[in-house]
Amino acid sequence: MIKLDYSQHQCPYPVVETRKQILANPGQALEVLVGDQAGRDNVSRLAEKMNYQASAEAVGTNFRLKLTPAEGETETTTPSETESAVGVSGKTVIYCGSNRMGNGDDEFGRVLMRNFLTTLLEMDPLPDIILFVNSGIDLTTEGSDVLEALQTLVSRGVDIASCGLCLDFYQKKDQLQVGRTTNMFEMVEVQCQAGRLICP
């Protein structure tokens, strides 16, 4: 049995790393130690989605999960089958209109956005293009703590595009570190033609 200790990590790290281990070791049972109930619940849901049976027990303030491959195989649907079934075609576009995710505490919103962008690295397929607008351009310019993740997305074929007018407004045009500059016409066109538009 593969034993993994993610008790010192917050979500989404335990889910992302557990998924990697399941994919790298198909058919193997895993024991995963997580540090809170959110980790327990999220890893359990991941296991069920990937056709594993999950059982959990409390170990002090942590939780130990045992993930065992279920009998048979989970029915899967390829992206092309999904598209034809629901009539979706066109690019997947992510629109980042802020350097934060959601409303509420600003600092926590920045943490959520960072987690969102780094977790994208685990998705398959990846989005086609990510648009950064208004304070969202903070994520593609000097001082951003997601530059490495964005560079990796670029290397995997994701188009990273920052609003040129926004870069000018915030006086950051010479600080762009990843991707390219775009304009309002292209941003409107890309969104209007998108098969999926995601606004975190």
pLDDT tens digits for range 89-126: 789 999 999 999 999 999 999 999 999 999 999 898 99
- Sheet arrangement for strand 62-69: 2-6, 30-34, 62-69, 52-59
**147 domain residue, yes or no:** yes
Average pLDDT over the chain reads 89
Q: How many domains does the chain have?
A: 2
> Has residue 128 been placed in a domain?
yes
Indicate whether 53 belongs to any domain.
Answer: yes
Query: Based on the domain organization, do 84 and 59 belong to the same domain?
Result: no
Instruction: Specify the pTM.
Output: 0.71
Which residues have C-beta within 8 Å of that of residue 77, sequence separation ≥ 6? 85
pLDDT of residue 87: 55
Same domain, 84 and 164: yes
Select from 69, 87, 117 the last residue of a domain.
69
DSSP strand pairing (62-69 vs 52-59): antiparallel
**pLDDT grade for 135, boundaries at 50, 70 and 90:** very high
Query: Residues 83, 148: one domain?
Result: yes
Residue 100 and residue 112 in contact, taking contact as beta carbons nearer than 8 Å: yes
* CATH code at position 168: 3.40.1260.10
- Cα gap 29→18, rounded to integer Å: 11
Containing structural domain, residue 137: 79-198
Whether residues 138 and 52 share a domain: the answer is: no
The CATH code of the domain that includes 22 is 3.30.110.40
Residue that terminates a domain, selected from 38, 69, 100: 69
Residue entry with tokens 């790298």: 24
Q: 88, 8, 14: which is closest to 45 by C-alpha?
A: 14
Judge if 10 and 58 occupy the same domain: yes
Best CA proximity match to 166, nearest among 126, 128, 133, 189: 133
How far is 121 from 103, CA to CA, in rounded Å?
24
Paired residues of 182 in beta bridges: 163
- Tell me 7's DSSP state: T
Residues 62 and 93 both lie in one domain: no
